[in-house]
Amino acid sequence: MTSASPNFDDLDTRTGRLQLPVPMGVDKVLLHSCCAPCSGEVMEAMQASGLRLTIYFYNPNIHPREEYLLRKAENIRFAEHLGIPFIDADYDTDNWFMRVKGLEWEPERGTRCTQCFDMRFERTALYGYENGFSLFTSCLGISRWKNMAQINDCGHRAAARYEGMHYWDYNWRKQGGTDRMITISKREEFYQQEYCGCIYSLRDTNKHRRDTGRENIKIGEQFYGVKNR
Ligand code: SF4
């Protein structure tokens, strides 16, 4: 569901943030989160607008498990810091691999990614439907590496499966969102993942790095705002 354009009359002078134009005027939102860096700004923006949000962490695409646990731990750490409920959903990797079978060589932003978003949003929408939410959204589109239209299509398609459920396709990059995402990540020294998440994106990113004279990704080494750990 698309919200109305933000109005600068709605600027909160205390936080310097716009009041978010939430669809249907609801104050309770389920946020699908993939990691702390992408969700940090979204969490703070929602809280500044007085929204009651719950984080739904469902990301069976992330490989290997070590990387999955790191991303999740960082997301939990920040959720606890802000006092936001965190739902730790399944890590059903076998289902994810079945879902993207035959799409292993698709490029990023291709049909494998559509399946990946669909799977994660379908589960989010189901959880929302079963737990009294009418609106869910995602922080995935805040990354400039992602195709926002592709993500929004997947979100709306997942919401349409459940009566009364809506997807909020707010552009979290706007109004300085992208810059604040980096600022918050550095302030909180979040773990900085260097590839999208799945084994295929790790493969392709490492190939690109080797082709350009860089070493393969070392999992668990890079943190925002920290030189070495
Ligand atoms: S590249 Fe990212 S969005 Fe695409 S399938 Fe892999 S993890 Fe999912």
How much distance in Å is there from the Cα of 61 to the middle of ligand 1?
7
59-79: pLDDT as tens digits:
999 999 999 999 999 999 999
Residues in the chain: 229
**pLDDT value for 8:** 46
Q: How much of the chain, in percent, has pLDDT values that exceed 70? A: 92
Atom 4 of ligand 1, nearest CA residue:
113
- The domains located in the chain, with CATH, are 8-211 (3.40.50.620)
Alpha carbon distance 187, 200 (integer Å): 30
For residues 29 and 42, the answer to whether their CB atoms sit within 8 Å is no
The atom of ligand 1 lying closest to the CA of 112 is 5
Q: Could you tell which of 93, 112, 146 is best to mutate to test the pocket of ligand 1, judged by most ligand atoms within 8 Å of the CB? A: 112
Q: Say what the pLDDT of residue 220 is.
A: 95
For atom 6 of ligand 1, the residue with the nearest CA is 198
- Indicate which residue's Cα is closest to atom 5 of ligand 1: 113
- The answer, yes or no, to whether residue 41 has pLDDT greater than 70, is yes
Q: What is the mean pLDDT of residues 135-156?
A: 95
Using a 6 Å CB cutoff, which residues line ligand 1? 61, 108, 112-113, 116, 196-198, 200-201
Residue 174, pLDDT score: 87
Q: Quick one: which atom of ligand 1 is closest to the CA of 197?
A: 7
Q: Is the pLDDT of residue 11 over 90?
A: no
The residues near 207 (Cβ < 8 Å, ≥ 6 apart) are none
Environment class of 67 (CB within 10 Å of its CB; exposed 0-12, middle 13-18, buried 19+): buried
The answer, yes or no, to whether the previous bond of 64 is cis (omega within 30 of 0) is: yes
Average pLDDT over residues 83-99: 98
Q: Say if residue 181's pLDDT is above 80.
A: yes
Average pLDDT, the chain: 93
Q: How confident is the model at residue 184 (pLDDT cuts 50, 70, 90)?
A: very high
Q: Kindly indicate the confidence band of residue 144, based on its pLDDT and cuts at 50, 70 and 90.
A: confident
What pLDDT does 175 receive? 83
Q: Which of 199, 56, 175, 36 is nearest to 116 (CA)?
A: 199
Non-local (6+) Cβ contacts of 179 within 8 A are: none
Q: What confidence category does residue 57 fall into, taking pLDDT thresholds of 50, 70 and 90?
A: very high
- Average pLDDT, stretch 40-54? 96
- Nearest residue (by CA) to ligand 1, atom 2, is 196
> Encoding tokens for residue 132?
């009294």
